[in-house]
């Protein structure tokens, strides 16, 4: 299976980069992982809501250029489906059994996703009602994808 992670912005902190690299390495046993970074927009201090919408729309246009029609698209959104790790593994397995050979996960920028990205998704996935830095979400998502493959294969994983 091919997994593509489309994310707004670069991972700047070294400790996040190291964690992403570690999960890239671990996941190479289970899937073909691709990480696509699209440029983020600088948000001026005290930006008006209209300007924030314009920023999200510009980021959305960059994201949507990478969305494949043949892929199953999952956005990360606070209001999305919030499974536990076993449910997430079951969903990943269900998609594979249904013949979905390409899953694209989308992580928005600091302002979130524009509605047109949400509309392009097959599913919205949430991890918590809390807000996390999008760089950290990349690590958390990769860890959960890795964990799901371990669960699917009946391999031990940390509970």
**pLDDT score recorded for residue 63:** 98
Element (H, E) at 78: strand 72-81
Contact between 116 and 64 (Cβ < 8 Å): yes
pLDDT tens-digit readout, 82-129: 999 999 999 999 999 999 999 999 999 989 999 999 999 999 999 988
Q: Looking at the predicted structure, is the pLDDT value of residue 81 above 90?
A: yes
pLDDT band for position 132 (cuts 50, 70, 90): confident
What average pLDDT does the segment 145-154 reach?
A: 96
Q: Which residues contact 78 (CB under 8 A, 6 or more apart)?
A: 112, 126, 128, 129, 131
Three-state SS at 159? coil
Three-state SS at 87? helix
Q: Looking at the predicted structure, is the pLDDT value of residue 154 above 90?
A: yes
Largest CA distance in the chain: 50
Q: Looking at the predicted structure, is the pLDDT value of residue 159 above 90?
A: no
pTM for the model: 0.95
pLDDT tens-digit readout, 69-80: 999 999 999 999
**pLDDT score recorded for residue 109:** 92
**pLDDT score recorded for residue 143:** 97
Q: Looking at the predicted structure, is the pLDDT value of residue 158 above 80?
A: no
DSSP state of 33: E
Dihedral angle at the C-alpha atoms of 39, 44, 49, 50, nearest 10 degrees?
Answer: -70
Q: Looking at the predicted structure, is the pLDDT value of residue 157 above 70?
A: yes
């Amino acid at each position: 299976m091919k997994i593509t992670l489309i994310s707004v912005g670069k991972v700047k902190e070294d400790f996040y980069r190291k964690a992403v690299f570690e999960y890239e390495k671990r996941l190479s046993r289970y899937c073909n992982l691709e990480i696509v970074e699209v440029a983020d927009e600088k948000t001026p201090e005290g930006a008006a809501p209209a300007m924030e919408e314009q920023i999200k729309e510009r980021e959305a246009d960059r994201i949507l250029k990478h969305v494949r029609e043949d892929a199953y698209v999952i956005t990360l959104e606070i209001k999305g489906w919030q499974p536990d790790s076993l449910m997430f593994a079951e969903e990943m397995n269900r998609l594979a059994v249904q013949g979905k050979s390409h899953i694209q996960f989308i992580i928005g920028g600091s302002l979130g996703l524009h509605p047109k990205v949400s509309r392009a998704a097959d599913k919205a996935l949430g991890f918590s009602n809390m807000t996390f830095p999008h760089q950290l979400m990349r690590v958390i998502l990769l860890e959960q994808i890795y964990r799901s493959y371990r669960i699917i294969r009946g391999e031990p994983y940390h509970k």
